[in-house]
Amino acid sequence: MTKTKPQLIFLFSIFIVFLCFSLGKSSDFELEDDSWLNDEDDEVNMVQSQQNSRSRCDFSVGKWVYDQSYPLYDSNCPYLSTAVTCQKNGRPDSDYEKWRWKPNSCSIPRFDALKFLGKMRRKRIMLVGDSIMRNQWESLVCLVQGVVPTGRKRVTYNGPSMAFHAMDFETSIEFSWAPLLVELNKGAEKKRILHLDLIEENAKYWRGVDVLVFDSAHWWTHSDQSSSWDYYMEGHSLYTNMNPMVAYQKGLTTWAKWVDLNLDPRKTRVIFRSMSPRHNRENGWRCYNQKQPLAYFSHQHVPEPLLVLQGVLRKMRFPVYLQDITTMSAFRRDGHPSVYRRAMGQEERQHPRDFSSDCSHWCLPGVPDSWNEILSALL
């Protein structure tokens, strides 16, 4: 017995070590960066953000929850454009300011301006895109500016870019106008030419930035009447007609090549925000007088530009994170300025249908604040 007991203890010890090793390996495997390969539904989010443990939370799936503690600032924020200050412009209801986005599988931390500025200390964050990205920039600046003393903040302008500076943090929150990302130039006879393979005139403003957030979709889907160009150009070839989604794919590919060739993922974070949905049907009246988010969709629709974007991101070497805000924002047809894009007198309010209705941009405070809460969580 005395001989077998040490042997049993030894064998038992070996078994315990083996068991710990096995369990250790399996739990390590669960945390490995490539476990996203099994998650086909959210493939682009995962593929492009392998280093980000938060990518396990799908921010794009959830519901809007009414929260009395919102909004996080008011429409007196001095950095808001008149067109988005719906309360100042006479909108009679304000519940649209009080909805908070709650993902199904996790929670988004409430935006903390000091924490955000601390993370961005000595850094530049730049939002690049169209007027809806400008909408988001104004939201982000208003979320932050309240904790910065009056004499320690300013806005500067440089070509198509503008920057809000929080001087004590040596931080700048910037916006750069490039709605198509690629170059739109005037040619002979003042014809507007969209160069699908040229980008440097816009991209020179993006160099040296620590966090880049892009969007580009709306201008590509404009109809022939409202199109911003007369010709497409690729190489030396000029085209009058092209499938808009083919052109979009070519333009995005030019952007993707620039990012792959010019940016270092160790120095720069790149996020691409998906398209903001419009509620423009019925000539823009689909969002007028709406006071609550939609409760559900009769059918889930994935916009074609989002499919094109996912295809381009999959082919990139650079780890771009796709921030999908399309579905969450599609619930919010109550969040647009509609006729309250300008100040309306008492008499004008009696006949609102005499005025055009904006169902593309967003009232602030409002929906873009939630995009920025997600952005802050990602960073």
Please give the structure tokens belonging to residue 38: 């099994």
- What confidence tens digit (pLDDT) does each residue in 166-217 have? 999 999 999 999 999 999 998 888 899 999 999 999 999 999 999 999 999 9
Predicted pLDDT of residue 37: 23
Look up the pTM and report it.
Answer: 0.82
Predicted pLDDT of residue 41: 31
Active site residues: 131, 358, 361
Predicted pLDDT of residue 184: 94
Predicted pLDDT of residue 11: 52
Strand pairing class (269-273; 321-323): parallel
Cα atoms in the 13 Å half-sphere on the side-chain side of 368: 28
Rounded Cα distance between 210 and 364, Å, is 26
Amino acid at 14: I
Give the per-residue SS3 of the chain.
CCCHHHHHHHHHHHHHHHHHHHHHHHHHHHHCHHHHHHCCCCHHHHHCCCCCHHHHCCCCCEEEEECCCCCCCCCCCCCCCHHHCCCCCCCCCCHHHHEEEEECCCCCCCCCHHHHHHHCCCCEEEEEECHHHHHHHHHHHHHHHCCCCHHHEEEEEECCEEEEEEHHHCEEEEEEECCCCCEEEECHHHCEEEECCCCHHHHCCCCCCCEEEECCCHHHHCCHHHCCCCEEEECCEEECCCCHHHHHHHHHHHHHHHHHHHCCCCCCEEEEECCCCCCCCCCCCCCCCCCCCCCCCCCCCCCHHHHHHHHHHHCCCCCCEEECCHHHHHCCHHHCCECCCCCCCCCHHHCHHHCCCECCCCCCCCHHHHHHHHHHHHC
**CB-based contact 368:215 (threshold 8 Å):** no
Collect the ranges in the chain with pLDDT lower than 70: 1-56, 223-226, 281-285, 298-299, 344-354
Q: Is 300 exposed, middle or buried (0-12, 13-18, 19+ CB in 10 A)?
A: exposed
Predicted pLDDT of residue 346: 65
Please give the structure tokens belonging to residue 375: 């952005």
Of 135, 127, 180, 176, the C-alpha closest to 341 is 135
Rounded Cα distance between 374 and 106, Å, is 12
